[in-house]
């Protein structure tokens, strides 16, 4: 008996599975369990048995790689019932059977319808359908671009409506495929071209069709391109009952291509009629306003005539003469009054002035000077008398006892001084006063 290694046993099991044709081309109906999308773009699921009355609820692991996942028209979710096709093999690293799917479709609802519902829900949750995001359409576009097929009736409808309603608006066509393989890429290129062109608004239109025919307008990439377009976009796809993701994200949604053209351009004849009516109303209003202003101007003119400087000048001149006379009389009275007041004050000042007081003071001063001179020692000296001081001059000698023999003394005469030295002191009792 040969003992197998685990890897060898796994290889034998995988080989046995590969050799079984029914396991390599298998269709399986199941309920999706855990769903996981890897960073590489691979889907991984668990497939649960969903047969009526099934009690064991068998579970298999399954994988849908990125290449096959690109063709999915819906987003797999847990609990969804699906029909898958693929092959069964052994995943040696995990030691489990695994179904490698190449196709996956929902059961109970079409894949396109489910994908449409899921995309609408996701974009709405992002706020891409919000009314406040919508851009206003220009009132009178100079030029508009139409993204559509060159061979469809939608283009003819748009051209007919625009030429009828507003023939001055130019039409530029950005041709594109509107269904089938490559339609999304073609629409994206045409929309990008229209957004760069010198146009005021872009129309994306096509006729009606089935959900499969309108599938290109349910592309998430196209929806985001419509939002990113630098010009306002009007989408008119299908008939009134048709709806697409492009309708929901457009700045204005139209049920048909003809209505899209109606929304994009105004009715020029109606505008002209409305303009004529407004011009008439404006002219009447201006005429009434001018008439009213003219009446007011006439009234003001009459008032100005009455208040004109020429009429007021004569009256003003008379008033000026009267006021000048009054002013001169008032000035004379004021001057006379002030002159009398000054004269009175001058007399009062003269009466109370310092001249008399100065004369009296001068006489009194001379009398006091005479008395001072009479009492002054200098006057005594002028009569032949003298005054003797100590040498320091600080004390007058009145008594011979104030000095000693040999002391220096100073004698003041009327004119000049004498300095002498005492040779003898004779008191009063000696009866002499002749020597110093």
- Residue 131: the pLDDT is 85
Number of domains the chain contains: 4
What is the average per-residue pLDDT within 312-340? 87
CATH code, domain carrying 238:
3.40.50.2300
Radius of gyration of the chain (CA): 67
CATH number, domain containing residue 16: 2.40.50.140
Q: What whole-number percentage of the chain has pLDDT above 70?
A: 92
Average pLDDT over residues 104-116: 68
Tell me, yes or no, whether 393 and 377 share the same domain. Answer: no
Q: Are residues 144 and 53 in the same domain?
A: no
Same structural domain, 144 and 78 = no
Where residue 436 falls among pLDDT bands split at 50, 70, 90? very low
Domain with 415 in it? 386-430
Mean pLDDT value across residues 403-424 = 85
Last residue of a domain, one of 266, 283, 301: 266
Strands 143-148 and 170-175: parallel
Do 91 and 158 share a domain, yes or no? no
229 torsion bin: left (phi>0), alpha (psi -120 to 50), beta (else): beta
For residue 71, is it within any domain? yes
Structure token pair of residue 169: 């608006």
Question: 382 pLDDT exceeds 80?
Answer: no
Do residues 28 and 69 share a domain?
yes
11 with 98, same domain: the answer is yes
Same domain, 104 and 216: no
The answer to whether residues 84 and 165 belong to one domain is: no
Question: Domain check: are 395 and 369 in the same one?
Answer: no
Same domain, 99 and 152: no
**Does residue 143 carry a pLDDT above 90?**
yes
Helix, strand or coil for residue 63? strand
Q: How high is the mean pLDDT of the chain?
A: 84
Question: In this structure, is residue 113 part of a structural domain?
Answer: no
DSSP string, 230-272: SS-EEEEESSTT---HHHHHSSEEESSHHHHHHHHS--HHHHH
Q: Above 70 in pLDDT, residue 262?
A: yes
- 231 neighbors 144 (Cβ within 8 angstroms): no
Residues 50 and 143 in one domain: no
Are 393 and 361 in the same domain? no
Of the candidates 209, 242, 266, which is a domain's last residue?
266
């Amino acid at each position: 008996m040969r003992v197998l290694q685990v890897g060898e046993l796994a290889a034998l099991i995988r080989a046995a599975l590969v050799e079984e044709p029914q396991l390599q081309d298998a269709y399986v109906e199941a309920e999706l369990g855990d769903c996981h999308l890897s960073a590489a773009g691979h889907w991984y699921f668990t497939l649960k048995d969903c047969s009526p009355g099934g009690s064991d609820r068998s579970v298999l692991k399954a994988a849908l790689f990125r290449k096959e996942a690109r063709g999915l028209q819906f987003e797999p979710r847990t609990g969804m019932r699906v029909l898958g096709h693929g092959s069964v093999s052994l995943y040696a690293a995990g030691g489990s059977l695994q179904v490698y799917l190449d196709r996956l479709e929902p059961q109970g609802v079409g894949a396109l319808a489910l994908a449409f519902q899921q995309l609408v829900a996701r974009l709405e949750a992002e706020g891409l359908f919000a009314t406040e995001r919508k851009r206003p359409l220009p009132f009178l576009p100079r030029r508009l671009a139409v993204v559509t097929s060159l061979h469809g009736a939608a283009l003819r409808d748009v051209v007919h409506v625009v030429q009828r309603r507003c023939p001055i608006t130019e039409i530029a066509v950005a041709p594109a495929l509107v269904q089938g393989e490559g339609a999304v890429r073609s629409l994206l290129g045409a929309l990008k071209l229209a957004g760069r062109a010198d146009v005021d608004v872009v129309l994306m239109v096509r006729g009606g069709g089935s959900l499969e025919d309108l599938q290109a307008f349910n592309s998430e990439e196209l929806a985001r391109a419509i939002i990113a377009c630098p010009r306002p976009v009007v989408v008119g796809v299908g008939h009134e009952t048709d709806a697409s993701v492009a309708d929901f994200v457009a700045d204005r949604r139209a049920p048909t291509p003809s209505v899209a053209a109606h929304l994009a351009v105004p009715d020029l004849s109606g505008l002209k009629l409305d303009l004529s009516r407004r011009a008439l109303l404006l002219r009447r209003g201006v005429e009434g306003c001018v008439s009213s202003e003219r009446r007011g101007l006439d009234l003001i003119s009459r008032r100005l005539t009455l208040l004109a400087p020429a009429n007021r000048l004569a009256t003003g001149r008379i008033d000026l003469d009267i006021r000048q006379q009054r002013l001169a009389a008032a000035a004379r009275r004021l001057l006379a009054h002030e002159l009398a007041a000054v004269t009175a004050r001058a007399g009062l000042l003269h009466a109370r002035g310092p001249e008399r007081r100065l004369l009296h003071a001068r006489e009194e001063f001379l009398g006091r000077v005479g008395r001072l001179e009479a009492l002054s020692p200098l006057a005594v000296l002028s009569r032949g008398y003298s005054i003797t001081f100590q040498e320091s001059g600080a004390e007058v000698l009145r008594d011979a006892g104030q000095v000693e023999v040999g002391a220096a003394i100073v004698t003041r005469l009327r004119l000049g001084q004498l300095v002498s030295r005492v040779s003898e002191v004779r008191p009063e009792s000696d009866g002499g006063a002749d020597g110093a």
